[in-house]
Chain A
Amino acid sequence: MKHFDLCFFLAFILLFPIIGSGQEVLQWSGPDRDGVFHETGLMKSWPGTGPELLWEFDSLGNGYSSPVITKNNILINGEVDTVSYLFALDLSGKYLWKSKIGKEWMLSYPGSRSTPTVVNDLVYVTTGWGQVACLETRTGKPLWSVNMVTDFHGQAPRFGFSESLLINGNTVYCSPGSPDTNVVALDRFTGKIIWISKGAGEITSYCSPVLIRLPQRNILVTFSKTNLLGVDTKDGKLLWSYKQEGQDIDCQVNTPVYENGFIYCVAGNGNGAFKLKLSDDGTKITEVWKNGRCDNLMGGFIKVNDYLYTSGYEKRQYYVVETTGGNIVDSVNFDRGTTNYSDGMLYLYNEKGQVGLFKPNGPKMEQVSTFKLTRGTKAHFSHPVICNGVMYIRHGKSLLAYKIK
């Protein structure tokens, strides 16, 4: 018995550092940045008028940022009178505070872009003009900030900096996108530089990176203007790049998805949708297929089993792409927009403001319910968030919370 106790104690002690370093990151596009929200018991259909609207907060300022939902509050970016703010609401949609971040993007498609990233008591945000800031999650008190343009010689792309910051351990990564500073790693507690990666030496392309964890190394995968980059998170070494073909390409927005040794991407221009095989040690990639007809600009895509679900851009419809050969196997007329997934269902939010609940049935997308968003302002670009049985949709100045459980 004592022997068992000792073994248990040792096992606990040995495992503790692993458990202790487990980091809950609340971030862009779900816990794994793949558009999937791990909820259960959600409604399998909606009434004709849509699910019940629990509340609306209509003074967010302009922008397309999605919210992050913490245990105590909701954090979301918005632009008011050219200034970017981090807004905090309580879970019932009541305003708590707002904290000034910096100058916001006011050129084409003005307003905030990126989604905050929260790790426990700290939250990380960016603005369209490249301000990277760390604040207290509870109060919004600014702790440190750097600017990707003035501090790292970055260059704002034509629609402004749009990445949602990636965090791993004590490091926060950002993409200034200059010839010498394609990707930069910062100490997330101080903002000090850990490494600078030249990467492909080109400006950023609106993509929020994804982290691939392999036994040998962790890899940050993101797009710069014309390349998909694989960067070793230990030292910033560029492991590989994958060139996007075509002219005038600079819109590789969607976060790549990694699964079982393969990287999947759907990009607005360049190579469109493609699948790469990543070597076991993460140092090499091999193209499996590409399909230029899949041209989703910024609505993301979802991988469920052997299919990708996404929308087109030039052709305003949704597609199903089989992942063996990259062929489009079905299309559905539902305009174009975002795609998310939770509890066996696809959640589509198109640019006409229609929200759709679809069932992914292998090569088919089956429409179950739809409703039209009638509140909010301006373009329907934001990606919805599902958390604790609530679907949050930002439409310009409004954040809407729908009960879907």
Chain B
Amino acid sequence: MKRLFSAVFVSLLLFSVAGAQDLTLDNILSKYYKAMGYENLQKVNTIIMTGTMIQQDAMPVKIIRERPDQCFMEFDIQDITAYQGFDGQTAWWTTPWTGNPKPQIMPDDRAKDLKSRADFDGLLFNWKSKGHLVELIDLDTVETSQVYKLKITKKDGGIEFFFIDATKFILLKRLYYRVVRGKEVAMENYYRDYRSVQGVLFSFTQDTHFDGQPYNSLQFDAIELNKLVDGQIFRMPEK
């Protein structure tokens, strides 16, 4: 009897893996959009996320996004508030821990990353019309989950990898690279604790690893949709 169960289990496993491998990129993306609630996301114009960023200390963080590609982030490091923003044209930030509290244009490599994250629907949605190239690379594993590994070559030439759960079709991990002091280091975002907000799935815990080591964790208490936002907030302030 045990052998029969084992045989059935192994067969099911092989079938599911084989099934997974059979899916085309379009099939995967279609399931991904559905799982993440993209249909409902199209009715959303603003997202306000508030919570805590744990990076040694636990400090408050607030992220505001507006269609099509504007974003603003307010966060504290050593209890000093810093800001990052992108108004669709200009990426800027403040780095008060360097002694300079004034807003500055963000360096190119960081700006590219911020622009990617500012895309309201994400890089994968309508990727062709945005000028990106998306390829299905392989089946892979993220922690204990089987995932589809997708490679995105962005319009600006940057490369990112998305890892989509092969069963639930939600995003589990994003991998990209950042140049730090002349060295290219891997940045890995792990997306956990998905919850539905008005039919759209959001990750309420996002852990980032820097060069393979845990770096910080964003833990959101609240995600609000379609709240009125003053667009001025995305623009670089003069002071």
Residue contact A379 to B59, C-beta cutoff 8 Å: yes
Partner-binding segment picked from A106-114, A173-181, A340-348:
A106-114
Residue contact A378 to B221, C-beta cutoff 8 Å: no
Bound form: Cα–Cα A381–B56 in Å: 13
Residue contact B219 to A379, C-beta cutoff 8 Å: no
- B76 in complex: contacting residue of A335, A352, A353, A378, CB < 8 Å: A378
Q: For the complex, is B52 an interface residue (Cβ under 8 Å from A)?
A: yes
Residue contact B60 to A378, C-beta cutoff 8 Å: yes
When distances are taken between beta carbons in the complex, the residues of chain B under 8 Å from A111 are 79
Residue contact A378 to B58, C-beta cutoff 8 Å: no
Residue contact A379 to B80, C-beta cutoff 8 Å: no
When distances are taken between beta carbons in the complex, the residues of chain B under 8 Å from A381 are 79
Residue contact A378 to B57, C-beta cutoff 8 Å: no
Per-residue interface assignment for chain B, residues 45 to 73, with 1 indicating a CB less than 8 Å from any chain A CB and 0 otherwise:
00000001010011110000000000000
Q: For the complex, is B78 an interface residue (Cβ under 8 Å from A)?
A: yes
When distances are taken between beta carbons in the complex, the residues of chain A under 8 Å from B57 are 351, 379
When distances are taken between beta carbons in the complex, the residues of chain B under 8 Å from A352 are 52, 58, 219
Label chain B's interface by main secondary structure: strand
When distances are taken between beta carbons in the complex, the residues of chain B under 8 Å from A379 are 57-60, 76, 79
Not counting A379-B59, A381-B79, a sample of 15 additional A-B residue pairs whose C-beta atoms are within 8 angstroms of each other reads A108-B97, A109-B79, A110-B79, A110-B80, A111-B79, A316-B54, A350-B58, A351-B57, A352-B219, A353-B52, A372-B221, A377-B60, A378-B81, A379-B57, A379-B58
Of residues 78 to 106 in B, which have CB atoms within 8 Å of A's CB atoms?
78-81, 97
Residue contact B58 to A335, C-beta cutoff 8 Å: yes
Interface size class of B (residues with CB under 8 A): 10 to 19
Q: For the complex, is A225 an interface residue (Cβ under 8 Å from B)?
A: no
- The number of inter-chain residue pairs (CB within 8 angstroms) is 34
Label chain A's interface by main secondary structure: loop
When distances are taken between beta carbons in the complex, the residues of chain A under 8 Å from B80 are 108-110
Bound form: Cα–Cα A351–B51 in Å: 12
Bound form: Cα–Cα A385–B193 in Å: 34
Bound form: Cα–Cα A342–B71 in Å: 46
13 interchain pairs, CB-CB under 8 A: A109-B78, A110-B79, A111-B79, A316-B54, A352-B58, A352-B219, A378-B60, A378-B76, A379-B58, A379-B59, A379-B76, A380-B58, A381-B79
For residue B52, which residue of chain A has the nearest CB? A352
Bound form: Cα–Cα A316–B52 in Å: 14
Which of B52, B54, B79, B219: most chain A Cβ within 10 A? B79
When distances are taken between beta carbons in the complex, the residues of chain A under 8 Å from B76 are 378-379
Per-residue interface assignment for chain A, residues 270 to 302, with 1 indicating a CB less than 8 Å from any chain B CB and 0 otherwise:
000000000000000000000000000000000
For residue B97, which residue of chain A has the nearest CB? A108
B49 to chain A, nearest CB (A): 15
B164 to chain A, nearest CB (A): 30
When distances are taken between beta carbons in the complex, the residues of chain A under 8 Å from B79 are 108-111, 378-379, 381
For residue B76, which residue of chain A has the nearest CB? A378
Bound form: Cα–Cα A109–B97 in Å: 10
Per-residue interface assignment for chain A, residues 75 to 114, with 1 indicating a CB less than 8 Å from any chain B CB and 0 otherwise:
0000000000000000000000000000000001111000
Bound form: Cα–Cα A212–B71 in Å: 56
When distances are taken between beta carbons in the complex, the residues of chain B under 8 Å from A335 are 58
